[in-house]
Amino acid sequence: MGANDRTVSSVLQDIVGNVQEIVRSEVRLAKTELKEEAVKAKSSGIFLSAGALTGLYAVGFLLLGLIYALSTVIPAWSAAFLVGIALAIVASTLLSTGRKRFKQVNPTPERTVETVKENVAWVKQQTR
């Protein structure tokens, strides 16, 4: 019996085994890709949270400056405004950075989708 004289059941067993290994590989690849994207999302979330918190402090200082400005005419209110403006600049920078990083997060495991398409084509070719 030559290499080309394999039985149908032997060929089908090989195909099933190959398909099972492909599926396992695809699952591993998907997990890896999703883990990478989760790290990006975490980083973006940290910047967004820090920006939002800093923005809250900016509003607090701006309100404090407004209170000082309305209640007294001494220079203390101008210091509160300067701190509030500085915090607002920091908050906008943090929020902008977080937003840019968040846009880089791709929830679709692109490589997995591509290899699944290739594997489906391979299986179709093998069953012909």
Q: Which amino acid is at 62?
A: L
Question: pLDDT tens for residues 39-92?
Answer: 888 888 899 999 999 998 998 888 777 777 767 666 776 777 777 788 789 889
| Domain presence at residue 1 | no
| Structural domains in the chain (count) | 1
Q: Does the CA dihedral 39-41-47-96 come out positive or negative?
A: positive
Asked if residues 26 and 116 have their Cβ atoms less than 8 Å apart, the reply is: yes
Measured CA to CA, the distance from residue 108 to residue 11 in angstroms comes to 34
| Domain presence at residue 32 | yes
| Domain presence at residue 46 | yes
Print the domain residue range for 101. Answer: 8-126
| Domain presence at residue 34 | yes
| Domain presence at residue 108 | yes
Measured CA to CA, the distance from residue 99 to residue 77 in angstroms comes to 32
| Domain presence at residue 2 | no
Average pLDDT over residues 6-34: 84
Can you give the pLDDT at residue 3? 54
Q: For the whole model, what pTM was predicted? A: 0.42
